Amino acid sequence: MRALTREAVAAVDSLGMLGVVLEQAAHLTDALWRVDSASAPRVDAPGGLVVCGMGGSAIGADLAAAALADRAQRPLRTVRGYDIGPGVGPGTLVLCSSYSGDTEETVCCYEQARDAGAPRIALTTGGRLAELARADGVPVIGVPGGIQPRAAVAYMTVGALECAALAGAAPSLRSEVEEASELLAELAREWGPDAPEDSLAKALARALQGAAPVVYGAGVTVPVARRWKTQVNENAKLPAFWADLPEADHNEICGFERAQDFAAVFLDDPHGDPRLRRRLELTAESARRGSAVVEVVEARGESPLARALSLVLLGDLVSVYLAALERTDPTPVDAIEAFKSALR
């Protein structure tokens, strides 16, 4: 495939993943309305917020925590798994985030939180989670159906942010959500399928084709690096990996000389900690000794949330374009569905 035009992507994108990605700006503001519609009460939660979720339903909590950073006033924790962990009780707000509502790990955590007497909120389209929550009189923040869980990232991020505010764990970032929405609308035009072939998202997809991406984040971009990895996995059906700085400088850097089959992507926050930015610069220089491709990408936006979400949008577009280059439909995840069937 020589050109990543709208028509060329549509030829493999049978269920319209690209269109959903381009709607992220609207998802952000719609998410605020949906949180308000749930009428969830404020709670005094000295134990902070625990968000239980898996995959695309969990990454929003990581993005929210990174955007809040030192503005968080109480603990924020993401649980990926069956066990909600220690210390959860009446003084901790638990947000159970499952797009389908049938994620067994998340439903299990909901039941543990209920047994522990913790206040709860469900963030879902329905399923078993919604049934349990409604039976218990627990607020349900509705998410629109008909898309893949990973495409609901804006809803999950805003849901986690607003629940952190309800728990007294952090200030509300509504103004930053609105700023991010305006920015993503601009970037969707700049990086979208009608943009020139040398635009950033298309150029990155071509650079990554044929190599296994390893995506590095630092500070606010750490969860974004994880998001890039999983989007390449699910949309392009390719192996990809992620790591964070400064940790990678204490181990992974030793493998750069034999990384010919890998492409290193560094996600830079231009407003980040100068120490982390210096590490990122030097680590990228080290990666150039052996990696097939080394790319450094800067976040856009004024607020930490906007900068994180600008890179989320970029990574999502890159993964869809990479799927098109590989002639792979980005939406179906047959391997995951087969695995779930085997579990059942």
How far is the C-alpha of 218 from the C-alpha of 259, rounded, in Å?
21
Total count of residues recorded for the chain: 344
Query: Could you identify the residue written with the tokens 């869809």?
Result: 320
Q: Classify 169 as helix, strand or coil.
A: coil
Q: What is the chain's alpha carbon radius of gyration, rounded to the nearest angstrom?
A: 20
DSSP 12: T
How far is the C-alpha of 230 from the C-alpha of 77, rounded, in Å?
20
Residues that are catalytic: 234, 250, 340
Tokens read off for 76:
């924020």
- DSSP bridge partners of 266: 216, 296
Helix 24-38 to helix 304-325 angle (10° resolution) is 130
Query: Could you identify the residue written with the tokens 């750069």?
Result: 256
Residues 333/313/36/88 CA torsion (nearest 10 deg)? 70
Q: Are 131 and 102 in contact (CB under 8 A)?
A: no
- DSSP bridge partners of 294: 264
Q: Classify 199 as helix, strand or coil.
A: coil
How far is the C-alpha of 279 from the C-alpha of 238, rounded, in Å?
28
- Start-to-end CA span in the chain (Å): 39
Query: Could you identify the residue written with the tokens 């503005």?
Result: 71
Tokens read off for 289:
């000794």
How far is the C-alpha of 111 from the C-alpha of 133, rounded, in Å?
10
